[in-house]
Amino acid sequence: MGSRVRRDAILLLVGASCFYLFSAFVSESRSASPSIIIDDDTNLNFALQTVTETVTKTELSAPQATASSLDLGVVQDLPETSIVAHAPGWTIFRNIYMAKGALLILTPDSERSTFPEFRLMTSTGLPGNLTNDPERIPTDRDMAFISPEEARARWGVEKGSGGRNRVSTVEGTTLLFNDPSQFLNHFHFVAELMFGSWAFLYGAFADGTLSDRPASTPYPDPSFNSPFISTTTPKIDRAIFIHTDVDGWRDAPGFNGYFMRAVFPSLTVEVRKDWMDRVNATTNTHLERAWHFPLVLLTDRSASFRGPVCGWYTQRTSAEAWTEMALHGKIDLIGNWWASMRAALLRYAGGEPLEELHEELQVPDRIVITYINRQGTRRHLTDEDNRGLINAMEELVERKNAEGGDWEFNDVHAEQLTLDEQVRVAGRSTIMLGVLMKPTRVSAVIEIFILMWTSRSLGMRHYSVWNDTYFTHPHEPTLPNYPDGFHGPNIPVDGRVVARLIEEHVDAREAGQPMDDFSPVHDKHED
């Protein structure tokens, strides 16, 4: 009798604990964000409309929480594949399968036409160049449809036989990167891949407007990791690099690995050998097996370049992800959606730990100009122009402070700083080359010399400077423009022009001049 009482008490405690954990994960549902009013632009608007029309089987909403897991080993019918969101090169799947290296969309034959073209979702994963796109078009070895009947025949067991279906679930949320290391082992990793991944996941699972999102997501267990800011984005459990070895996604300065560990401390990373382990488990066997991924974000650079925004306009893969979510009103246009990444990185680096979200960009108390001095690297300014630029910045700051302002100039040699120090410098800067700084009404990136879409998508002004000429929206070149000498040690810049540009920019913002509207459909550009 005593043992039965103890057993019942234990079961009661277990049940109460399970209820507590479940309730901690479930958040109150909220209405969708209001739509964004989009300016008309005939050419690009038509291209973006083409993207939108490629998906009819899309659910831009958060998944329904369930109290228990589904044991796929005993079900008669495996869960069918659906798409949460899609843009060229960016697709969030529910219940996608992998066998023999191919991603398999489980759906009845009658539903196949509702999915996007495979070439807009994936590729063969080969490195890209200007002539080999046909070789990167996916085949059935990369992605294919499978019907429920075929899946049951290949991986299932007869009902009542006592056996189990031969499907193993890779639990949680997976980032599945189908890019080769060609564009992973430098700044593209954070500025494109992670930037686009967060924009797409954040937007796809947005759960209300900025003002009514919860301040934090409660954790069921004690943790040193602060919750992400104001987001209902699903927890990311792993990143799988299908075509990259252990060093292929890491850059020489080490920032890619630093970013991943700082922002996603619990995330696990799998690379090509790990993926091949999974492939071999479904290939080298007399019994067919499959892997089941309940929630996957698949990204593919080649597929992004087949889309209108990346391929025709920005040449930035993340632009497809950002634009799709902005068109649906799922992310704001001033960068609050990126606040969790920025805050986590700054917190890890020992910088300002708090992040305030605002409906509009604010005017900072201090103007901090940070010059990323590259004179010790392969690509840099002429020595004379470097000295002239520093002198012009110092004179500008001295004059503005004499007029009663609060200005600061930093001449930073990044290679002489630790990664922590570099992040802290970026975090407190108002005007610099980079996207880690916090957007304000006077934030600006001044670059020598390439069109920079990313900074503008975070609500910051971007200027491209070459010698004594600069461009900014809406008069910048339509596509990235690399002048002669851009990759060399003699890049020209007129420091006086840059100083005048900064002063005019800050004065206009402090005077209340309206910010440019960086809408999902951009204004027409002039060359």
Q: What is the DSSP string of 57-92?
A: SB--SPPPP-SS---TTT-SSPPPPEEEEEETTEEE
Residue 521: the pLDDT is: 44
Residue 491: the pLDDT is: 77
| 143 within domain boundaries | yes
User: In percent, how much of the chain has pLDDT > 70?
Assistant: 73
Strand partners, 92: 85, 297
Q: What's the average model confidence in pLDDT over 235-261?
A: 93
Confidence of residue 419 (pLDDT cuts 50, 70, 90): very high
| 15 within domain boundaries | no
Q: Looking at the structure, do residues 403 and 266 belong to the same domain, yes or no?
A: no
Q: Residue 114 above 50 pLDDT?
A: yes
Average pLDDT over the chain reads: 78
Q: Which of 3-7, 142-146, 188-192 has the lowest mean pLDDT?
A: 3-7
Cβ pair 383, 375 in contact under 8 A: yes
CA-to-CA separations, 359 to 45, 78, 197, 210, in angstroms, rounded: 26, 44, 23, 8
Q: Which of 40-44, 189-193, 301-305, 361-365 has the lowest mean pLDDT?
A: 40-44
| 5 within domain boundaries | no
Q: Which of 7-16, 205-214, 234-243, 432-441 has the lowest mean pLDDT?
A: 7-16
Q: Looking at the structure, do residues 236 and 205 belong to the same domain, yes or no?
A: yes
Q: In sequence order, which residues have a C-beta less than 8 Å from that of residue 469 and are 6 or more positions away? A: 497
Residue 435: the pLDDT is: 46
Cβ pair 142, 122 in contact under 8 A: yes
Q: Residue 306 above 50 pLDDT?
A: yes
- Does residue 295 sit in helix, strand or coil? strand
Residue 448: the pLDDT is: 60
**For the ranges 91-95, 210-214, 315-319, the one whose mean pLDDT is highest:** 91-95
Q: In sequence order, which residues have a C-beta less than 8 Å from that of residue 154 and are 6 or more positions away? A: 99, 146, 288, 290
Q: What's the average model confidence in pLDDT over 190-211?
A: 83
Q: Is the dihedral of CA 508, 509, 514, 518 positive or negative?
A: positive
Q: Looking at the structure, do residues 181 and 285 belong to the same domain, yes or no?
A: yes
Q: Looking at the structure, do residues 213 and 269 belong to the same domain, yes or no?
A: yes
Q: What's the average model confidence in pLDDT over 55-70?
A: 45
Q: Which of 131-135, 190-194, 287-291, 512-516 has the lowest mean pLDDT?
A: 512-516
Q: In sequence order, which residues have a C-beta less than 8 Å from that of residue 368 and are 6 or more positions away? A: 407, 408, 410, 428, 429, 430, 431
Q: Looking at the structure, do residues 90 and 192 belong to the same domain, yes or no?
A: yes
Cβ pair 263, 294 in contact under 8 A: no
Q: Looking at the structure, do residues 185 and 97 belong to the same domain, yes or no?
A: yes
Q: Looking at the structure, do residues 343 and 442 belong to the same domain, yes or no?
A: no
Quick one: which of 293, 228, 241 has its CA closest to 268? Answer: 241
Quick one: which of 232, 231, 249 has its CA closest to 240? Answer: 249
Quick one: which of 79, 77, 80, 93 has its CA closest to 153? Answer: 77
| 34 within domain boundaries | no
Q: Which of 137-146, 365-374, 375-384 has the lowest mean pLDDT?
A: 375-384
Query: Residue 94: which domain range?
Result: 40-63+70-348
Q: How far is CA 477 from the centre of its chain?
A: 25
Amino acid at 453: W
Last-in-domain residue among 294, 318, 348: 348
Q: What's the average model confidence in pLDDT over 275-290?
A: 92
Q: Looking at the structure, do residues 400 and 344 belong to the same domain, yes or no?
A: no
Q: Residue 414 above 60 pLDDT?
A: yes
Residues in the chain, total: 527
| 14 within domain boundaries | no
Residue 378: the pLDDT is: 65
Q: Residue 334 above 50 pLDDT?
A: yes
| Strand 90-99, strand 102-106: pairing | antiparallel
Q: Residue 293 above 80 pLDDT?
A: yes
| 301 within domain boundaries | yes
- Does residue 309 sit in helix, strand or coil? helix
Q: Which two tokens stand for residue 488?
A: 């060399």
Q: What's the average model confidence in pLDDT over 36-55?
A: 39
Quick one: which of 443, 432, 439 has its CA closest to 510? Answer: 443
Confidence of residue 450 (pLDDT cuts 50, 70, 90): low
Q: Looking at the structure, do residues 466 and 392 belong to the same domain, yes or no?
A: yes
User: H or E segment at 321?
Assistant: helix 318-327
Q: Looking at the structure, do residues 83 and 173 belong to the same domain, yes or no?
A: yes
Q: What's the average model confidence in pLDDT over 487-498?
A: 76
Cα–Cα distance, 497 to 244 (Å, whole number): 43
**For the ranges 160-169, 207-216, 219-228, the one whose mean pLDDT is highest:** 160-169
Residue 23: the pLDDT is: 32
Residue 480: the pLDDT is: 52
Q: Looking at the structure, do residues 263 and 332 belong to the same domain, yes or no?
A: yes
Cα–Cα distance, 125 to 54 (Å, whole number): 22
The answer to pTM > 0.85 is no
Residue 88: the pLDDT is: 97
Q: Looking at the structure, do residues 88 and 153 belong to the same domain, yes or no?
A: yes
| Strand 236-241, strand 173-177: pairing | parallel
The H helix count followed by the E strand count for the chain is 16, 14
Cα–Cα distance, 144 to 101 (Å, whole number): 11
Residue 489: the pLDDT is: 66
User: In percent, how much of the chain has pLDDT > 90?
Assistant: 42
Q: Is the dihedral of CA 77, 83, 89, 90 positive or negative?
A: negative
Residue 463: the pLDDT is: 76
Q: Which of 126-135, 140-149, 450-459 has the lowest mean pLDDT?
A: 450-459
Q: Residue 37 above 70 pLDDT?
A: no
Q: Which of 84-93, 108-117, 296-305, 306-315 has the lowest mean pLDDT?
A: 306-315
Q: How many domains does the chain have?
A: 2
Cβ pair 494, 468 in contact under 8 A: yes
| 331 within domain boundaries | yes
| 78 within domain boundaries | yes
| Strand runs labelled E in 230-365 | 236-241, 268-270, 290-299
